[in-house]
Amino acid sequence: MIRLAFLLFLLPAMALAQGLPALFDVTGVAQADVLNVRSAPSGSAPIIGSLHPDETNIEVTETNDAGTWGRLNVGETSGWASLRFLERQPGDPDYALARSLRCFGTEPFWSLSLTQGQEAVFSSPDSQATVPGAGLLTASRNSPGHFAVGFNDSTAIIRRAACSDGMSDQSFGLTIDLFLSHGGDTALYSGCCRIDPR
């Protein structure tokens, strides 16, 4: 009986965590106030930033075990805000994860702007290429949180997992391995992704 009660207690947090990252909006904060972002998921942890009462499109990448605090980026670092004051945006059932993603990596610096069903734009210090005809993310049949998308002869493998860009203290909720084909050659780029709210 105790185990059943414990599982029922954990279900909301587990369900929320499986659907992250996701975009949230601040709610229930007075116009003259702010939502504090703290260094740890606790009301007594140091404040490292804040969100305005009308702020939208805030990407939450994970929750604490109780599902009461969400991790998000503020400035060049990540912190925690109370989910009591963050409302999840409705997802688009036509797209896995989100309609648009922005992915990036370092050494060398590169970025990929992906709009499902439309185009992918790859940029690096050496080149920029727009590839029309990007497909839709396909979910793995046997590994939850794993997705693939193709565009021309290139493929991106995207996973729900904690990711760091190695240049800041920000935290991201998606990893990417990009197999980019160009002129008969294939290069592998690895990095992080975030949801693009456009």
For residues 27 and 94, what is the distance between their CA atoms, to the nearest angstrom?
26
CA–CA gap between residue 17 and residue 28 (Å, rounded): 22
Which tokens in the block code for residue 181? Answer: 């084909």
- d(Cα 34, Cα 196) in Å, to the nearest integer? 24
pLDDT (tens digit per residue) in 45-96: 999 999 999 999 999 999 999 999 999 999 999 999 999 999 999 988 889 8
Summarised one tens digit per residue, pLDDT across range 2-25 is 444 444 444 444 444 458 999 999
Structure tokens at 180: 């980019």
Q: Mean pLDDT for the chain?
A: 90
The H or E element containing residue 179 is strand 172-182
d(CA 114, CA 190): 15
pLDDT at residue 127, rounded to an integer = 86
Distance CA 36, CA 52 (A): 9
Domains in the chain, please, with CATH? Answer: 2-88 (2.30.30.40), 100-195 (no CATH)
Model pLDDT for residues 106-155, shown as the tens digit of each residue = 988 999 999 999 999 999 998 888 988 899 999 999 999 999 999 988 99
Residues in contact with 111: Cβ distance below 8 Å, sequence separation at least 6, in sequence order:
102, 103, 104, 105, 122, 123, 124
Average pLDDT of span 16-44: 92
DSSP-assigned beta bridge partners for residue 23: 59
Is the C-alpha dihedral spanning 65, 67, 145, 132 positive or negative?
negative
H/E stretch holding 5 reads helix 2-18
pLDDT digits (tens, 9 = 90+) for 84-114: 999 999 988 889 899 999 999 998 899 999 9
